[in-house]
Amino acid sequence: MTTMTSRLLAGVLVAGLVGSLAACGGTTKDSAGANSGGTQSTATADPNAAAKQGVKMAFLPKQLNNPYSDIEVSGGKTALAELKGEYKLVGPNDASASSQVSYINTLIQQQQDVIGIAANDSNAVCPSLNQARGAGVKVVAFDSDAAKDCRDVFVNQASTQGIGDKLVELASKLAGGSGEVAILSATPNATNQNAWIEVVRADLAKPEHAGLKLVKIAYGNDEDQKSFQEAQGLLQSYPNLKVIISPTTVGIAAAARYLSSSSYKGKVALTGLGTPNQLREYVKNGTVTEFALWKPADVGYLAAYAGVALASGQITGAQGQKFKAGRLGEYTIGANGEIVLGPPTVFDSANIDNFTF
Ligand code: RAM
């Protein structure tokens, strides 16, 4: 869908039509992110406006049964308590493309002030999100972006380039600079994983990584069982595999569990993005050496502060605007409404016990 078409659709479709259209529309990897340019509010920001109390912000993560999402939204809850706002959590049990649409429509009816969304598909949620924005609801994408013209800001956990670079750096080190690499991702439409994978591909195409060959991208859909089976499939199909990169906390935990009790343990390396609590056991038993992440609670915390700043008129989402985010300090909005939390942290046997999330 082109930018123009999606804007037109957002402008004219009635609610019922929005729901049915969005429900049938998954976005493929290639069309994800096709909307560029962004529609930012023309309202003027007043950085000195008082933070409103009683702001109603609903969090809609990719899925509810993911420990990572639970930690993320807990940070949002903390921030809204500090800001004297009202926290709400809703969401699907699976991370499929259209799973979030009906929740957005309900949140509009409930007259939430802000929706915080980790989009399962950058475009499938757009008609509903733009309907929300038309009704005065501010939209903060966090963790996994929606297309730029259907949200006000995007709270990114670290820079996309930085995360992709880190994944390749870790994989290259573990492979000793050469060999076959496979990726075990989340869903095929996930905006965040696809953006990171693009960076991984670009990095692997550079001369310094000529020895590393990406042989397969598998999708575990952020479901534990499917991820476990996909990990098993990769190891059986690629006997020369050196490293699996799993840029999802669900995927890396399932792959670590499989690897740990298989004959591949110690022969095939595993790295990616995981929570220290889920991977501690596998770092201690030698299945995983190094992996990365950020503090998921801080993603939700920053998203809530951005949401209240939007609802209070302190920011509109334009580049260069600044706002205060409680214990995290001041943030400046970057290009395309992006707010970057900070650099990722690398965990290994030496530091993992310092982290309890
Ligand atoms: C999973 C989800 C989430 C991602 C993390 C790293 O929990 O896919 O969106 O940010 O992994």
**H-assigned helices in the chain:** 3-12, 15-23, 67-82, 101-109, 126-134, 160-175, 191-204, 224-237, 249-260, 276-284, 296-311
Contact in structure between 98 and 124 (CB atoms under 8 Å): yes
pLDDT at position 14, please?
Answer: 34
Q: Which atom of ligand 1 is nearest to the CA of 157?
A: 10
Tell me which residues have their CB closer than 6 angstroms to ligand 1: 62, 66, 68, 118, 143-144, 186, 190, 192, 222, 248-250, 273
Q: Please tell me the predicted confidence (pLDDT) of residue 4.
A: 34
In contact, 63 and 87? CB cutoff 8 Å: no
For residue 67, which atom of ligand 1 is closest to its CA? 7
pLDDT recorded at residue 7 = 34
**Cα-to-centroid distance, 62 and ligand 1 (Å):** 8
Low-confidence ranges of the chain (pLDDT < 70): 1-42
Report the pLDDT value the prediction gives residue 22, as an integer from 0 to 100: 35
> Which atom of ligand 1 is closest in space to residue 293's alpha carbon?
6
Domains of the chain: 48-156+296-341 (3.40.50.2300), 160-293 (3.40.50.2300)
Ligand 1 centroid vs 68 CA: distance in angstroms?
A: 7
Q: Atom 11 in ligand 1: which residue has the minimum CA distance?
A: 248
Tokens of 11: 């402008």
Residues 6+ apart with CB under 8 A from 205: none
pLDDT value for 43: 72
- Residue 167 CA to ligand 1 center (angstroms) comes to 14
Instruction: From the CA of 95, give the closest atom in ligand 1.
Output: 8
